[in-house]
Chain A
Amino acid sequence: MSLDPVILFFVLGVIAGVAKSDLKLPPAIYELLSILLLLAIGLKGGVELSKSSMSGLLPQVAAVLAMGFIMPFVLYPLARLGRTGRADAASLVAHYGSVSVATFAVGIAYLNDRNIAYDSQLPLFLVLLEVPAIIVGILIAKGLSDRSQAWGRVMHEIVFGKSILLMVGGLLIGWIAGPQGVQPLEPLFFDLFKGLLALFLLEMGLIAASQGQALRQHGVFLILFGLLVPLPMACVGALIGTLIGLNVGGVTLLAVLAGSASYIAAPAAMRIAVPDANPSLPLTASLGVTFPFNIFIGIPVYYAIAQGLQGLGG
């Protein structure tokens, strides 16, 4: 099986970072790329949603949300294994229970290359899965009784943070405008998707390489956590996807979501809500270990699992 070129861009970024090259994407460009990718995923999802009927969506949404709320509790004991304190472990599960848009985008590219269709509700699930784990993580860190928590500020950070705002915005715009309305936008958002993703992954490679230092400091636990947690979580995602009747592409993407770890929404929210947690622990695991694992090994494996489950069911 040949490697997707966008993944090679990630490798190039890592090499540039390790070699201390002067290559650096200007922050404004990185910002623009992430805005375009978020909107592209949202728009695509919105257009697809406008074509399909909404019936049956509610139980699916409930199942996905339940997964989002329960997974962090299951992960928490594992996160404590590395002699991590309560706040650090809570922050870790908030990141791993939440999802990564970049991994999702690579998953979409993987399916597109193979002409595999995926259910239109997946971008909606992506949005839904960003939030619950962050809330659970904060609750674990602070306890239910802590009234000092400024929930208003934290919820504002989560809901109006750029990732959810743009995804929900894209979904709504796509849904309202429909296929015809969005057509003039297609050259920018859909035709260029892979090129934008390639550039974005180049920068992701640079960022991942910069996590090497922290990885050496925190050592074996983060590497093991980052490598061993995604696969079982993805299996749970795949199982739930199959049970709620998604197609092979949809099951694959739900597995990708379950197996991925956040690095935009969760870090920002946790930094505000749980300031005593060390922010570099989860970021290092998420960016330096889990993200590479998922795009190199995870996504093809999750696809195989989805096919297997579909075979069992059908």
Chain B
Amino acid sequence: MTEYPCKIVTIVTEAILEQDICELLRRLGATGYTVTDARGAGSRGVRNAGWQSSSNVRIEVLCNPGLAEKIAVQVQDLYYENYAMVLFTADISVLRPNKFS
């Protein structure tokens, strides 16, 4: 089995931003993403997903390092100041590199 290096960008943020961020990801050239419902607590208080206004989503994108950087910069620019948001990246391996631009 051959493994190829790849980046994963994970964004945990307010559910209300899901649509906007996914649109941004597509625009920047991501070939796909995965969204899951999330809950937790942080500097913006407990976000327990009890109902819409306090629910979080976790958006994950697999991509090349260049795109990962572009996503991080754009998302930071647009949303960091006013929204509850955490973004981090990690190096991972995938089996089919051509699937993730």
Contact = CB atoms under 8 A, between A and B. Distances in A.
Main secondary structure of the interface of A (DSSP, over half): helix
A210 B50 contact: yes
A24 B51 CA distance: 11
B16 A264 contact: no
Contacts of A207: 50-51
B55 A27 contact: yes
A268 B53 CA distance: 7
A275 interface: yes
Interface string B52-84: 110100000000000000000000000101110
A24 B50 CA distance: 8
A279 interface: yes
A292 interface: no
How extensive is the interface on chain B, given as a class?
Answer: 10 to 19
B52 A264 contact: yes
Interface string A129-146: 000000000000000000
Contacts of B49: 27
Given A275-B82, A275-B83, A276-B82, A30 B51 contact: yes
A271 interface: yes
A272 B21 CA distance: 12
Nearest to A157: B16
A72 interface: no
Contacts of B16: 268, 271-272
Nearest to A24: B50
A280 B53 CA distance: 9
A68 interface: no
29 contacts: A24-B50, A27-B37, A27-B50, A27-B51, A27-B55, A30-B51, A153-B20, A203-B51, A206-B50, A210-B48, A210-B50, A214-B45, A263-B53, A264-B52, A267-B53, A268-B16, A268-B52, A268-B53, A271-B14, A271-B16, A271-B53, A275-B79, A275-B81, A275-B82, A276-B81, A276-B82, A279-B53, A280-B45, A283-B53
Interface of A: 24, 27, 30, 153, 203, 206-207, 210, 213-214, 263-264, 267-268, 271-272, 275-276, 279-280, 283
